[in-house]
C-alpha cells in the first residue's frame, strides 16, 4: 500500500518538476 502511494507521489513530483523546469 505505502509502496504504491510512494510511487504515485514520485511520479507526480517528477512530472511536475520536469514540466516546471521546461517552462522556466
pLDDT for 13 equals: 96
Euclidean distance between CA atoms 8 and 13, whole angstroms: 8
% of the chain with per-residue pLDDT over 70: 92
Average pLDDT over residues 1-24: 91
pTM of the model: 0.54
Grid coordinates in use for 14? 517528477
pLDDT for 11 equals: 97
**Which residue would you say has higher pLDDT here, 3 or 1?**
3
Q: 2: part of which helix (H) or strand (E)?
A: helix 2-23
Q: How many residues does the chain have?
A: 24
Euclidean distance between CA atoms 11 and 14, whole angstroms: 5
**Which residue would you say has higher pLDDT here, 15 or 22?**
15
Amino acid at each position: 500500500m505505502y509502496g504504491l502511494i510512494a510511487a504515485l507521489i514520485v511520479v507526480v513530483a517528477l512530472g511536475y518538476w520536469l514540466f516546471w523546469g521546461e517552462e522556466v
